[in-house]
Chains A and B, each alone.
Chain A
Amino acid sequence: MESPKLIRIANISGRYLVFDPDAVSALRRQANTNGTLVGTTPQQPTQNIFLGLPIELRPEEVDALIRTNVAYVVDDVAAHKSALQSLDPDSRRAYVSSLRLRKQTAQKVFAEINAQKASITASKKNKKARDSSSAVPSTDLGTADSGALKSDGNPSPRNSQVTLLGVTPTSSINYVSPDANALPEEPRNSEKGSLCQFMLGSGYYMTPGLRFGSRYSVYPGDPLRFHAHFMANEYGWEEEIPILDIVGGGRLATAVKKAFLIGGRKPSTSPDMVTSPVRTFSIEWAGM
Chain B
Amino acid sequence: MAEMQVQTEPPSIGKASAELQPNSAAPAQAQAKPPSDAPAPAAQQQKRGPSIHQIYALPAPIRTFPLPTFYPNNPISLFHVAYAWLGQVFRPPPAEPAVIHHGVWSETTISVHIKDEKSMRALWEQGFYGKGNLSRSEPNWLKREQVQRGLQEVHVSEIFTQQRREERAQAKWERARLEQEAILRTKLEEERLAASSRRAEKDKAVPDSTPSFVAPVGPLELLALPNSAVIVSRLESILTPISILAPVGPLQLLALPNSAADIAKLAKVNASKANESSSSPHGSSTEDSEEPRTPITNETPEVFRDDRSVISSSDGVGNKTLNRRKSVRFSPTVESATYKASDPPSPNRSPPVLFSQPSQANGNGNSDSQTLPSLPLASVPVSDPIINKEHLQLTPEEAFFLSFGLGVLEVTDPASGRVLSRQELFSLFRQYSYFPPRNGPDEPDLEPDDGFLVHYAVYHHFRSLGWVPRGGIKFGVDWLLYTRGPVFDHAEFGLIVIPSYSDAWWKKEGRQGPRKPWSWLHSVVRVLSHVTKSLVLIYVDVPPPHKFEEALKDGITEAMKLYKIREVMVKRWSSNRNR
Task: Give the B-binding residues of A (Cβ under 8 A).
Answer: 209-215, 233, 243-245, 247-249, 251-252, 255, 287
Q: Are B477 and A244 touching (Cβ within 8 A)?
A: yes
Q: Who on chain A is nearest to B474 by CB?
A: A247
The one of A213, A245, A247, A255 in contact with B522, judged by C-beta atoms closer than 8 angstroms, is: A213
Q: Are A248 and B522 touching (Cβ within 8 A)?
A: no
Q: Who on chain B is nearest to A250 by CB?
A: B476
Q: Are B474 and A213 touching (Cβ within 8 A)?
A: no
Q: Are A248 and B519 touching (Cβ within 8 A)?
A: no
B504-525 to A contact mask, C-beta < 8 Å, 1/0: 0000000000000111111111
The one of A209, A211, A244, A255 in contact with B478, judged by C-beta atoms closer than 8 angstroms, is: A244
Q: Are B526 and A214 touching (Cβ within 8 A)?
A: no
Known: A248-B527, A252-B527. A210 touches B522 (CB 8 A): yes
* 16 extra A-B contacts, CB within 8 A, seeds A214-B519, A244-B476: A211-B522, A212-B526, A213-B524, A213-B525, A215-B519, A245-B523, A247-B474, A248-B475, A249-B476, A251-B475, A251-B476, A252-B526, A252-B527, A255-B527, A255-B530, A287-B165
Chain B contacts for A245, CB-based, 8 A:
476, 520, 523
Choose among B165, B478, B523 the residue with the greatest number of A CB atoms under 10 Å from its CB: B523
Known: A252-B530, A255-B530. A243 touches B523 (CB 8 A): no
**21 pairs from A and B in contact (CB 8 Å cutoff):** A210-B522, A212-B522, A212-B526, A213-B522, A213-B523, A213-B524, A214-B519, A214-B523, A215-B517, A243-B473, A244-B473, A247-B473, A247-B476, A248-B475, A248-B476, A248-B477, A248-B524, A248-B527, A251-B476, A252-B526, A287-B165
A233 and B521 CA atoms in complex are apart in Å by: 14
Instruction: List the 3 closest pairs (A to B, CB-CB), nearest first.
Output: A213-B523, A248-B476, A213-B522
Shortest CB distance A210–B (Å): 5
Task: Give the A-binding residues of B (Cβ under 8 A).
Answer: 165, 473-478, 517-527, 530
A213 and B530 CA atoms in complex are apart in Å by: 13
Q: Are B478 and A213 touching (Cβ within 8 A)?
A: no
Chain B contacts for A249, CB-based, 8 A:
476, 523
Choose among B165, B473, B526 the residue with the greatest number of A CB atoms under 10 Å from its CB: B526
Judged by DSSP, the binding face of A is helix
Shortest CB distance A83–B (Å): 37
Q: Who on chain A is nearest to B165 by CB?
A: A287
Q: Are A213 and B520 touching (Cβ within 8 A)?
A: yes
Chain B contacts for A212, CB-based, 8 A:
522-523, 526
The one of A213, A215, A247 in contact with B526, judged by C-beta atoms closer than 8 angstroms, is: A213
Q: Are A252 and B523 touching (Cβ within 8 A)?
A: yes
A215 and B521 CA atoms in complex are apart in Å by: 12
Chain B contacts for A214, CB-based, 8 A:
519, 523
A214 and B517 CA atoms in complex are apart in Å by: 9
Q: Who on chain B is nearest to A251 by CB?
A: B527
Q: Who on chain B is nearest to A231 by CB?
A: B523
Q: Who on chain B is nearest to A47 by CB?
A: B575
Choose among B520, B521, B525, B530 the residue with the greatest number of A CB atoms under 10 Å from its CB: B520
Chain B contacts for A251, CB-based, 8 A:
475-476, 527, 530
Judged by DSSP, the binding face of B is helix
Chain A contacts for B523, CB-based, 8 A:
212-214, 245, 248-249, 252
A287 and B531 CA atoms in complex are apart in Å by: 14
A251 and B533 CA atoms in complex are apart in Å by: 15
A251 and B518 CA atoms in complex are apart in Å by: 18
Shortest CB distance B24–A (Å): 41
Chain B contacts for A252, CB-based, 8 A:
523, 526-527, 530
Chain B contacts for A213, CB-based, 8 A:
519-527
A64 and B461 CA atoms in complex are apart in Å by: 49
Chain B contacts for A248, CB-based, 8 A:
475-477, 523-524, 527
Shortest CB distance B337–A (Å): 13
Shortest CB distance A46–B (Å): 14
Shortest CB distance B472–A (Å): 8
A247 and B523 CA atoms in complex are apart in Å by: 10
Q: Who on chain B is nearest to A208 by CB?
A: B519
Q: Are A210 and B476 touching (Cβ within 8 A)?
A: no
Choose among A233, A244, A249, A287 the residue with the greatest number of B CB atoms under 10 Å from its CB: A244
A245 and B516 CA atoms in complex are apart in Å by: 11
Chain A contacts for B530, CB-based, 8 A:
251-252, 255
Q: Are A210 and B475 touching (Cβ within 8 A)?
A: no
A44 and B517 CA atoms in complex are apart in Å by: 30
Chain B contacts for A287, CB-based, 8 A:
165
A244 and B475 CA atoms in complex are apart in Å by: 8
A81 and B473 CA atoms in complex are apart in Å by: 55
A287 and B474 CA atoms in complex are apart in Å by: 10
A58 and B521 CA atoms in complex are apart in Å by: 20
Q: Who on chain B is nearest to A249 by CB?
A: B523
A212 and B476 CA atoms in complex are apart in Å by: 14
A248 and B478 CA atoms in complex are apart in Å by: 11
Q: Who on chain B is nearest to A253 by CB?
A: B523
Shortest CB distance A124–B (Å): 33
Shortest CB distance A238–B (Å): 14
Q: Who on chain B is nearest to A247 by CB?
A: B476
A233 and B517 CA atoms in complex are apart in Å by: 11
A247 and B475 CA atoms in complex are apart in Å by: 7
A211 and B519 CA atoms in complex are apart in Å by: 8
A248 and B521 CA atoms in complex are apart in Å by: 10
Chain A contacts for B517, CB-based, 8 A:
215
Shortest CB distance B292–A (Å): 34
Chain A contacts for B526, CB-based, 8 A:
212-213, 252
Chain A contacts for B477, CB-based, 8 A:
244, 248
Choose among B473, B475, B477, B522 the residue with the greatest number of A CB atoms under 10 Å from its CB: B522
Shortest CB distance A215–B (Å): 6
A255 and B477 CA atoms in complex are apart in Å by: 17
Q: Are B475 and A209 touching (Cβ within 8 A)?
A: no
The one of A209, A247, A255 in contact with B519, judged by C-beta atoms closer than 8 angstroms, is: A209
A248 and B517 CA atoms in complex are apart in Å by: 14
Q: Who on chain A is nearest to B473 by CB?
A: A247
A210 and B527 CA atoms in complex are apart in Å by: 13
Choose among A213, A214, A252 the residue with the greatest number of B CB atoms under 10 Å from its CB: A213
A213 and B525 CA atoms in complex are apart in Å by: 9
Chain A contacts for B475, CB-based, 8 A:
247-248, 251
A81 and B477 CA atoms in complex are apart in Å by: 51
Q: Who on chain A is nearest to B338 by CB?
A: A286
Choose among A212, A233, A251, A287 the residue with the greatest number of B CB atoms under 10 Å from its CB: A251
Chain A contacts for B473, CB-based, 8 A:
243-244, 247
Chain A contacts for B476, CB-based, 8 A:
244-245, 247-249, 251
Choose among B519, B521, B530 the residue with the greatest number of A CB atoms under 10 Å from its CB: B519
Q: Are B520 and A210 touching (Cβ within 8 A)?
A: no
Chain A contacts for B519, CB-based, 8 A:
209-210, 213-215, 233
A252 and B519 CA atoms in complex are apart in Å by: 12
